[in-house]
Amino acid sequence: MMTPMIRNFCFCLVSLMVASCANLPTNHLDLFQRSMEIRDRDREAEILSRASVFSSRDPGLNDLKVVRLKGSPYEMGFQHGRLLKKEVRESVTHVMKLASLYAKHEMMDEVYDLMAPYIPLAEKEEMRGLAHGAGLPLRMVHWYHAIPAVSEYKYKKRFSKGFTSTSCSNMVAFDRATADGRMYQMRVLDWNRKMGVHRWPVILVHEPDLGNASVTYSFAGFIGCVSGMNDQHMAFGEMGYGNPPNETLEGIPFVFLFRKLMREASTLDQAVAMIKNAQRTCSYVYLISDAKRSEAETNALMFISDRDRVLTFRENTVLEDERDDDVFPAMDDALYAGARAKKLHRALTEAYGRLDAPTLMEISKRVSLKGNIQNVVFKPETLESWSSYATTSDPLDESGKACNQKWFYFDFKKALE
């Protein structure tokens, strides 16, 4: 049996091998050669003057940073890349060296090329700005953002030999189910701690020239959204849902669909319409809530979304998992699903009527998997949130899971003032 000491040594050895063997592309152009937006230092300074960075300076939070970005998509990307240049370069380089063990650079280009026609122009420009700000090749930034979609793709082994399927948990509760009658939503992100992205946790506040402001709970160098909330009191969570035969990469990756939803959707009805009209790719479950709606209206929806269909479910609905015929009992004023749905249902039932942020933080410990890299508890009505990130990359180290770490409180409404 492998002891923790031997296991850690092996992981460190592999990391050293990656660092020494993986040859990644490098950028040899200066900013003024690359950028059509920034022609001189005065323009660069003006763009950066609109952004700010708050650092927690707390090792217990992995030195989590909050970055406030403001302007056009390119400008916000540039602010992100320049203000967090060290962290962005470290994060992207680390992840892409690992990814290079499983897929050739030419294959990464092929994968991004399949997605590119469907990625919104705003996100393309933000990735360009990010690359320019951090001094990274744009090609490598594109690869980095393709990984989440590939990790959920049924035929991923065509492109790589090492990705495994992932799973998460999501729930929302309101009215009679919560301690104060307010809405709470929780997103448990169980992915791949070996990738190490949790070492660079970042909360990105986007204030675009056009569209809704939003907050994304992310990682340095990653502009896509896996967990987020917009200023319209809507919260967004996601998880993979099996591998149906109709999956494709020729569509909008969900991490960019979520960014588009946060920017353009102001109501739950608008979000539904946008998802149905999108060129969809792989099979996902989404949980989207809208705290503005009255008790008589639908406050949240669970989606099953794939290339051919979009199904929606509201609270007090029995959910059946098509993959294994598992049944999730209905709950009044609550919706839930996930890898450990039975444990989640039991925990929600036990705390029904008393659910609040601290209670959900404890519940996250009961339902998270070994790959738990991030958790977020949203309170969309007040735009408050609590988030936690993993501290170790060894999936067998339970103590390093995100659910066992310090939680960071963030007031999105206050950040926008």
pLDDT exceeds 80 at position 54: yes
Residues in the chain: 417
Tell me the average pLDDT across 211-225.
98
Note the pLDDT tens digit of each residue in 139-188: 999 999 998 887 766 544 444 444 444 578 999 999 999 999 999 999 99
234-251, pLDDT tens digit by residue?
999 998 877 777 888 899
Residue 53 pairs with which residues in a beta bridge?
A: 67
278 DSSP assignment: S
What are the angstrom distances between the C-alpha of 110 and each of 98, 118, 139? 18, 14, 11
Instruction: Please tell me the least confidently modeled range out of 22-31, 199-208, 259-268, 359-368.
Output: 22-31
Q: Could you give the number of structural domains in the chain?
A: 1
326 CB neighbour count, 10 Å cutoff = 12
To which H or E segment does residue 34 belong? helix 31-34
Residue 7 in domain: no
Confirm whether 248 is domain-assigned. yes
The two three-digit tokens of residue 25, written as one number: 């592309």
**Residues 80-91: tens digit of each pLDDT:** 999 999 999 999
Which residues, 6 or more positions from 386, have their beta carbon under 8 angstroms from its beta carbon? 357, 361, 376, 377, 407, 408, 409, 410
- 183: in domain: yes
pLDDT band at 64 (very low <50, low <70, confident <90, very high): very high
> What is the distance between the alpha carbons of residues 393 and 15, in angstroms, rounded to a whole number?
11
Identify the helix (H) or strand (E) that includes residue 192.
none
Amino acid at the residue 112: Y
Q: Mark 400-417 as b/e (b = at least 16 C-beta within 10 Å).
A: bbbbbbebbebebeebee
- State the average pLDDT over residues 178-205: 94
Flag whether 397 is in a domain.
yes
Residue 142 lies in a domain: no
Confidence at residue 2, expressed as pLDDT on a 0 to 100 scale: 42
CA distance 408 to 229: 16
For residue 386, what are the CA distances in angstroms to 190, 202, 389? 17, 13, 11
- Residue-level pLDDT at 247: 85
**Of 312, 358, 367, 359, the residue nearest 335 (C-alpha):** 312
Which of the four pLDDT bands, split at 50, 70 and 90, describes residue 323? low
3-state helix, strand and coil shares in percent for the chain, rounded to the nearest 5? 40, 25, 35
Structure tokens at 109: 């280009």
- Does the pLDDT at position 328 exceed 70? yes
Looking at the domain assignment, is residue 94 inside a domain?
no
Residue 218 lies in a domain: yes
Percentage with pLDDT > 90 across the chain: 69
* Partners of residue 335 on adjacent β-strands: 172
- Averaged pLDDT for residues 319-323: 71
User: Is pLDDT of 193 > 60?
Assistant: yes
Q: What's residue 164's pLDDT?
A: 44
Range of the structural domain that residue 255 is part of: 169-415
Q: What's the CATH number where 258 sits?
A: 3.60.60.10
Residues 206 and 8: their CA atoms lie apart, in Å, by 38
Please give the pLDDT value at position 20: 40
pLDDT of residue 293: 84
Does residue 346 fall inside a structural domain?
A: yes
Query: In which residue are the tokens 């035929």 written?
Result: 155
- Between CA 182 and CA 192 the distance in angstroms is 32
Q: Can you read off the two tokens belonging to residue 268?
A: 């739950």
CB 238 within 8 A of CB 216: no
Query: Using alpha carbons only, how large is the chain's radius of gyration in Å?
Result: 20
Q: Give me the mean pLDDT over the 223-233 stretch.
A: 97
| H or E segment to which residue 330 belongs | none
Q: What is the value of pTM for the model shown?
A: 0.90
Q: How many CB atoms lie within 10 A of CB 57?
A: 9
∠ CA 262-265-266, rounded to 5°: 105
